Amino acid sequence: MPDGDNNTLLAQILVGVVIAVLAGGTAPWWWTAIGGESADELAAGDDRAQSPSDPAHAIEAYEAIQALYVEARKLPPDVDCPTVRLLIEKIRVHGDDANAVPPSFEYTVKYPADVTDPTIGDIAADRISRIERQRAGCIRTSR
């Protein structure tokens, strides 16, 4: 096979990749026919995850935040600030979550002050505040 054929094949592949990237998240018309979720269904799934009435999501989010918080607490005192900031940013992802904290964990949201009817966003803010207080040297660069 001459070199020109290889270059043409490579060019065709690259053009296909570029078109796929430009198309982004669009799915072909037949995607839903074989069981794929439409963009509307995916968006509805995101809305369900943020719904204040989704206890399964609330427990999952609470556990994720708590695991990150425990990980931050277990870090040795001399750990570098980027590691602390990374854990804070992972918790901060939950900051806008309006799901109610599972009732059995409501009492754990109390820093910097007690919160009535706390949300997952409140637990995230609580745990971030605690980490920042414990790692005061990293606060200036964590935001």
| pLDDT of amino acid 141 | 44
The pair of three-digit structure tokens given for residue 55, joined into one six-digit string: 């206890």
- Which contiguous run of DSSP H or E holds residue 89? helix 81-92
Q: How many domains is the chain built from?
A: 1
Q: Establish if 141 belongs to a structural domain.
A: yes
Q: Establish if 39 belongs to a structural domain.
A: no
| pLDDT of amino acid 142 | 41
Higher pLDDT, 55 or 96: 96
3-state secondary structure of 100: strand
Q: Establish if 125 belongs to a structural domain.
A: yes
Amino acid at 41: E
Q: What is the mean pLDDT of residues 63-78?
A: 90
| pLDDT of amino acid 81 | 87
Q: Establish if 16 belongs to a structural domain.
A: no
Q: Establish if 27 belongs to a structural domain.
A: no
Q: Establish if 49 belongs to a structural domain.
A: no
Q: Establish if 40 belongs to a structural domain.
A: no
Residue 79 — pLDDT band, cuts 50, 70, 90? confident
- Which contiguous run of DSSP H or E holds residue 50? helix 39-50
Q: Establish if 142 belongs to a structural domain.
A: yes
CA distances from 13 to 5, 26, 59, 136 (A): 12, 19, 45, 51
Domain assignment of residue 99, given as a range: 54-143
Taking only the tens place, the pLDDT of each residue in 11-53 is 787 777 666 655 555 555 555 555 555 555 555 554 444 555 6
